[in-house]
Amino acid sequence: MSLGTDTTVDEWQARLLGLSHSLHAEPETAFEEHASASKLATLMDEAGFAVDRGVCDLPTALLATYGDGDLTIGLCAEYDALPGIGHGCGHNIICASSAGAAIALRTAADRYGFRILLLGTPAEESGAGKQLMLERGAFDDVTVAMMAHPGPSADTAGATQACSRFSVTFEGRPAHAAGAPWDGVNAADAAVISQVAIGLLRQQTPTGYRVAGFVRSGGEKTNIIPERSVLEYEVRTPGADLLDTLRRRVQACFEAGALATGATVTFARTEPDYLDMRNDPWLLDCYHAHLPAFGRTAVPLPGGFSAASTDMGNVSHAIPSIHPMIGLRGVTAMPHTHEFAAVTATPPGDEALLHAAKLLARTATDLATTPERRAAYRAHHRSRLH
């Protein structure tokens, strides 16, 4: 059901595309999205929303509210970009499509007595901004949460992996690399040994498990045995319950590097864990039911999940949520590349933005006008808070 939401998106098309293109032209990374958050806040203020900036002790987080009632539909807007790549994950599209859906729902909110809450959520790429906002109460009043994420070509359910990120620090002992190398404890060698062990471990990990990382520092000069090396790593698994096992196996590889070289090793979490996405079946079915109206068809994901992670997964473990992928039709470039960044502010990206806004608004309207489902989600909300 659209109840005029499609028409409203069309009326706001120029401003929504303007927001997307402006974010694309001025990409900002995690927790630094000051201009991006301001642009979104300005648009929502123009649309008649009450805007609260810098919420949850996060300067680049915001809440924009419209309407009142016993049902609160949350729409998550991401706007952080990737270092060196820009909007290679299409968060400019996410931000503008969620804003468009929120704006389009105003008439339905007035008619059917529900509240719209647009959540400006920083630091999705790293930092888990949504988890921080969950912990700090931003989602307490949210009955259901929604967003749509752009991807290449196909429309999918948007299920994702769980992810845990940590740093690894080796401490050794410096020495003159030519005069007395035997006096040193080589922290860079510990990193090399560990990475070889992890490469071998990959042969024994199940399908869908991922290990990735890089060396942040590994020495200063060729004539000094490196006394310190620092790496950043992540592990991903299909479900959050599997993370600890894989993380322990990977950390054992680093412990092996320390043992072999005589270095010491320490680990530190760099951000909260990202949980796997659990799409709410009823909401996702509603979303999928509207795809044909836009010439789209849901395509099953190979293996049931994508090789990506999102802090929207954390939201979905607490609140009925959806995170479908909307395809940029005709685009084959993969996210997190310069090629994908280049197309997120072109006609395929603009089309996906407008379609996503309309699809999310239609899905929210379906919920607001289906009494038994509305009552069920309200009951779930009450049980979550007590």
In this structure, are residues 16 and 46 in contact, taking their beta carbons and an 8 Å threshold?
Answer: no
Tell me how far apart the alpha carbons of residues 353 and 349 are, in angstroms, rounded to a whole number.
6
Mean pLDDT value of segment 151-163: 88
Confidence of residue 208 (pLDDT cuts 50, 70, 90): confident
384: pLDDT strictly greater than 90: no
Domains 5-160+275-385 and 162-269 share a fold: no
Across the chain, how many H-helices and E-strands are there?
Answer: 13, 12
Supply the pLDDT for residue 305: 61
304: pLDDT strictly greater than 90: no
Mean pLDDT value of segment 44-67: 98
Per-residue pLDDT tens over the stretch 7-36: 999 999 999 999 999 999 999 999 999 999
302: pLDDT strictly greater than 80: no
Confidence of residue 145 (pLDDT cuts 50, 70, 90): very high
Per-residue pLDDT tens over the stretch 326-339: 999 999 999 999 99
CA-based radius of gyration for the chain: 23
Q: What CATH number belongs to 5-160+275-385? A: 3.40.630.10
Q: Which of the four CATH numbers 3.30.70.360, 3.40.50.300, 3.40.50.1370, 3.40.50.180 does domain 162-269 have?
A: 3.30.70.360
Angle at 189 between CA 184 and CA 192, to 5 degrees: 175
Mean pLDDT value of segment 240-266: 97
This prediction's pTM:
0.92
Looking at per-residue pLDDT, the higher value among 197 and 153 belongs to 197
Tell me how far apart the alpha carbons of residues 223 and 149 are, in angstroms, rounded to a whole number.
49
Mean pLDDT value of segment 263-267: 98
Supply the pLDDT for residue 258: 98
In this structure, are residues 147 and 323 in contact, taking their beta carbons and an 8 Å threshold?
Answer: yes
Indicate the residue type of 105: L
Domain ranges of the chain: 5-160+275-385, 162-269
Percent of the chain topping pLDDT 70 = 98
Q: How far is CA 64 from the centre of its chain?
A: 20
Q: In what order do the strands lie in the sheet with 228-237?
A: 210-217, 228-237, 162-171, 264-269
275: pLDDT strictly greater than 90: yes
Supply the pLDDT for residue 303: 63
Tell me how far apart the alpha carbons of residues 248 and 80 are, in angstroms, rounded to a whole number.
30
**Residue 112, C-beta contacts closer than 8 angstroms, at least 6 positions apart:** 69, 368, 369
Mean pLDDT value of segment 137-163: 93
